[in-house]
A = this chain, B = another copy of it.
Amino acid sequence: MSKVIAEISMSLDGCVAGPDPSMEEPLGVGGEQVHEWVVATSSWRDAHGQQGGEATPESDMLAEVNDGIGVTIMGRKMFSGGSGPWEDDTNADGWWGPEPPFRHPVFVLTHHERETTLMGETTFTFVTDGIESALEQARAAAGDSNIRVAGGAEAIQQYLAAGLVDELLLHTAPVFLGGGRRLFDGAAADLTGKFEGTRIVDSTTGVIHASYKVKDA
**Are B12 and A189 neighbours in the complex by a CB distance under 8 Å?**
no
Chain A's interface: helix, strand, loop or mixed, by majority?
loop
Given the known interface contacts A14-B14, A184-B12, A212-B12, the answer about A192 and B207 at a Cβ–Cβ threshold of 8 Å is no
**Are A198 and B187 neighbours in the complex by a CB distance under 8 Å?**
no
Please indicate the chain B residues that have their CB under 8 angstroms from the CB of A198 in the complex.
Answer: 206
**Are A178 and B206 neighbours in the complex by a CB distance under 8 Å?**
no
Q: How many copies does the complex hold?
A: 2
**Are B197 and A33 neighbours in the complex by a CB distance under 8 Å?**
no
Please indicate the chain B residues that have their CB under 8 angstroms from the CB of A175 in the complex.
Answer: 192-193
Q: Does A136 belong to the interface (CB within 8 Å)?
A: no
Bound-complex Cα distance A192 to B19 (A): 14
Q: Does A13 belong to the interface (CB within 8 Å)?
A: yes
**Are A208 and B200 neighbours in the complex by a CB distance under 8 Å?**
yes
Given the known interface contacts A12-B184, A184-B14, A212-B174, the answer about A196 and B206 at a Cβ–Cβ threshold of 8 Å is yes
Option from B170, B192, B205, B208 in Cβ contact (under 8 Å) with A176: B192
Bound-complex Cα distance A199 to B196 (A): 22
Please indicate the chain B residues that have their CB under 8 angstroms from the CB of A26 in the complex.
Answer: none
- Which residues of chain A have a CB within 8 Å of any CB of chain B? 12-14, 18-19, 29-30, 33, 170, 174-179, 182-184, 186-193, 195-198, 200, 203, 205-208, 210, 212
A-B contact pairs, 5 of them (CB 8 A): A12-B170, A13-B14, A175-B192, A177-B188, A178-B188
